Amino acid sequence: QKEVEQNSGPLSVPEGAIASLNCTYSDRGSQSFFWYRQYSGKSPELIMSIYSNGDKEDGRFTAQLNKASQYVSLLIRDSQPSDSATYLCAVNRGSWGKLQFGAGTQVVVTP
């Protein structure tokens, strides 16, 4: 079974600070990596996709990928209370677009 591991949290972050979330995966053949945000009681929402080593920035979010070390991370700059949610890391699994999800990291942004 291919694994995707995340710290469950909660990760408590002061408002305005940077939240740093990590994710490790076991399948060296993985090619695509995604971060989803899930508010309590809601469905997951795609916030970042990354396919190549290095950094990818989108607004206050930066995804970082290191395939050699098999980890992907998400940075949230200038954290806001609205960023309080569970963040799911997902990695492609085999064929047909299947994804392996981590259990998620809960982020709590405190005013």
C-alpha distances (whole Å) from 53 to each of 23, 47, 60, 68, 104 are 14, 18, 19, 9, 22
CB 54 within 8 A of CB 65: yes
Binding site for another protein (CB under 8 A): 31-32, 34, 41-46, 49, 51, 88, 90, 92, 96-99, 101-104
- Is 82 or 96 the residue whose CB approaches another protein more closely? 96
- Is 18 or 46 the residue whose CB approaches another protein more closely? 46
Q: Partners of 107 in the beta sheet?
A: 11, 85
- Is 17 or 61 the residue whose CB approaches another protein more closely? 61
CB of 54 to another protein, least distance (A): 17
